[in-house]
Structure 1
């Protein structure tokens, strides 16, 4: 493998996914829920941005000046192309971490985000990232970092080791990453079929391996087949980040903020008795067998007094981004699936069903007739946002400033959707980030933008796009054979889109 890759998979690109936790706007609700002062984010940077979907969406939908870096030149080129289309002036480069930290022309950042990359690089590069944070993060600034965590990864780590060892020793350079992955999977299947004692001692291993095989090869290559791969205890990361004056602020995963879905009363009481933050978080991971953490760290954590906190929370605005009848009243935590209280969630969701932004204070006032207080409103918002049903809203002046960029960026993604479904999100100026919008829905929006008003016209437009490329729809595992079958299915989807999704996309300022 060539030297510039540093053992990182480079012959197969990373996924085109969007990662909402990288959206700096999410910091506000998490910090306020934890009683922390929220920093103003004027400059931001994403390290290891992959294909650049997230960094470009956040650059298009925020007023912050964005920088980003990914060592893979192919991915950086794609990201730069997207940035050029949106006109965001995002500065996206393909430097190594060592080259990046040596630069003297970068601004100080209020926000630095890393998704996953921490777990896939060697100790030298981790140290370089820590040095970058020391040099480039402003006082009061926030670092978002997600990483594979112990003890949750401990049982599966030997399987990952076997997969990677097989790829290194039995694979050939000519196979490429995909060929080596397929061979390693076949080997692991045979090994697990032999009923090894390790699998019997760790009965979840087989099901977890099946889950791994269900991911795309792009994801699997980067998650499991890099030379360097290190899940880490929270305490180990804390030691590294505290050396550059970072303090743990709170989890970036909203569901983590609601303890009853993760811990029994006895477990919560045990955690409450632990005063040391590092020990407490490490114990949380042990109780919940945590295998992936998403955390905020800050260079100077300032606590709000109760009055400041509640005033700021009541001013925070949210919007429902899902079709109300399809919002399931359940969430999953460490304790399993938890049913939500219908007496609380139904009236709250009914209020938000028109997809108009409302502040938590407005929700609180509306919920008084149902005897639902502010504490219940806040918990409901955290759970619904954590489940992906709600998103926070940015300030009105920011929305107005970014609308032109988000429109251009979304149009470019719609054009790309004619050829593939790689990017399954569009960006909202309202929420400052991405919203799930699958390929055909993007093409329906493109048809609307061309003046087509009826679902039948949208369906016909999409069918013309597909037919011109010899593509057909796959429904329930079966490829639809005739033009009539394809057009009928598209009409069904277009009609469903008009009823359920178009009103939401209009409210989010994605559709005109």
Structure 2
């Protein structure tokens, strides 16, 4: 481990990933639904990513928001080289990715502050002094009213894996670079096999992690500072940057009644009344990861203003079974939804050339508040897809086409292809199933209807 690493694994680059939760268009909706104002992602803004890695998500966002300016910082030179190579390949001019530590950033605040920031997979992997530096950056780089996103490991879901973390930090590494965690993997598997009956969550997590490559495990569980955190462990330090918790970045997580039963809802209500609602949510959902928004002085938004904002959003029918990341959610934990006839009626209506959220509300013969809840349920559960205004889609089309063409070249050359960018809804999509990627590469028949769905997303392959 080199001296400049500060305990972070620097002997290999992090995975080349694209994060579907990072999109200003959806952040604005989540902020509004939580009763708070947000910088308008349809107007010029400045976006900062802390610890951007190879900047795959940031580069995609720059393609999807050509009217905005994007800056990414990472302290690993290899990441900067990878990012700038892709930027040059696509030909983007509204983004820069720079090498620098958080301490260096804090000492050199910009002349013009930022409206959005993102830090995905950073906070719970770095030592305490680096977290303090992140707070310093946010306090000096973010504008009043700005919104910051943090994606981080949640303590509730990760606590059971503590023995496996300890094994990976204690077991000797193999001499072969290709199998450096071989002894740790074997020891962890033996421990899980022996204890699984008493720790089902540990078994579930390890079964998923055990399939990951060594360079991922080096960051995820072998790093000496990697851990899970409660929201308050992040929220309290951010107060020094004048930032406050706004709520989940994922819309469905604002609607607990969709995934909690009556007893769980009663437990949550008492926890909220007692001031520890976020802890209760983590415990009830056994969260392993949190996607949270924090704001720096956002104004309160009234309920009627929030509803009016949602009414104007254009929606079209969608299919949550596609698993393309357009609706990050609690997935199979959803316990209730809409009757099939109501859902089918809404999708038929929205399929008639696309309708607004308000049109769908008006088609329901129920009071306005109930109509809003019904359409919102169809939307957050993935059965309706929101589209940006046409002018924004058109402005983003060329940049997204060039980004997606670069991803196609990767796919056809058998390199990792994290995903595409959609000009239609202003965010990245992933392909969780190999069968999807096979269809896109022209190696399998399109039994999923992907071609039509991609056209809806504004993606031409």
Give per-residue Cα distances to partners, 1:211-248, cap 9 Å, x unaligned: 22123444323211212112112222111112221111
In structure 2, the partner of 1:348 is 346
The SS at the match of 1:338 is coil
In structure 2, the partner of 1:60 is 63
In structure 2, the partner of 1:425 is 419
Tell me if 1:291 matches 2:295: no
Structure 1 residue corresponding to 2:122, chosen from 117, 121, 128: 117
Contact residue 261 and residue 335 of structure 1 kept, 8 A:
no
Tell me if 1:434 matches 2:420: no
In structure 1, the partner of 2:243 is 246
Partners of 1:314 and 1:232 lie apart in 2 by 36
After superposition, residues 148-167 of structure 1 pair within 5 angstroms as 148-166=153-171
Partners of 2:55 and 2:84 lie apart in 1 by 8
Structure 2 residue corresponding to 1:45, chosen from 14, 37, 48: 48
Partners of 2:400 and 2:415 lie apart in 1 by 19
Contact residue 407 and residue 417 of structure 2 kept, 8 A:
yes
Moved more, 414-423 or 308-317: 414-423
Moved more, 137-146 or 255-264: 255-264
In structure 2, the partner of 1:183 is 183
In structure 2, the partner of 1:472 is none
In structure 2, the partner of 1:205 is 202
Tell me if 1:509 matches 2:452: no
In structure 2, the partner of 1:480 is none
What RMSD in Å do the two structures reach over aligned CA positions?
3.0
Partners of 1:207 and 1:239 lie apart in 2 by 31
Partners of 1:140 and 1:73 lie apart in 2 by 32
In structure 2, the partner of 1:397 is 391
Structure 1 ranges of 4+ moved more than 6 A: 323-327, 369-372
Moved more, 67-76 or 99-108: 99-108
Gaps of 5+ in 1: 445-489
Cα distance, 1:249 vs structure 2: 0.8
Which TM-score applies when normalising by structure 2?
Answer: 0.87
With over 3 angstroms needed to count, the CA separation of the structure-2 counterparts of 1:192 and 1:322, relative to structure 1, is closer
Tell me if 1:137 matches 2:86: no
Cα distance, 1:106 vs structure 2: 5.7
Partners of 1:277 and 1:43 lie apart in 2 by 38
With over 3 angstroms needed to count, the CA separation of the structure-2 counterparts of 1:126 and 1:119, relative to structure 1, is same
Give per-residue Cα distances to partners, 1:443-475, cap 9 Å, x unaligned: 44xxxxxxxxxxxxxxxxxxxxxxxxxxxxxxx
Partners of 2:328 and 2:141 lie apart in 1 by 38
Contact residue 146 and residue 298 of structure 2 kept, 8 A:
no
Give per-residue Cα distances to partners, 1:388-423, cap 9 Å, x unaligned: x65432233322222221122222222222212411
With over 3 angstroms needed to count, the CA separation of the structure-2 counterparts of 1:210 and 1:306, relative to structure 1, is closer
Tell me if 1:406 matches 2:409: no
In structure 2, the partner of 1:462 is none
Which TM-score applies when normalising by structure 1?
Answer: 0.79
In structure 2, the partner of 1:373 is 371
Contact residue 421 and residue 439 of structure 1 kept, 8 A:
no
The SS at the match of 1:373 is helix
Partners of 2:322 and 2:221 lie apart in 1 by 38
In structure 1, the partner of 2:78 is 74
Which of the pair has more CA radius of gyration? 1
Cα distance, 1:345 vs structure 2: 2.1
In structure 1, the partner of 2:21 is 21
Contact residue 173 and residue 182 of structure 2 kept, 8 A:
no
With over 3 angstroms needed to count, the CA separation of the structure-2 counterparts of 1:13 and 1:318, relative to structure 1, is farther
Contact residue 109 and residue 136 of structure 1 kept, 8 A:
yes
With over 3 angstroms needed to count, the CA separation of the structure-2 counterparts of 1:115 and 1:278, relative to structure 1, is farther
Contact residue 36 and residue 303 of structure 1 kept, 8 A:
yes
Cα distance, 1:312 vs structure 2: 0.6
In structure 2, the partner of 1:234 is 231
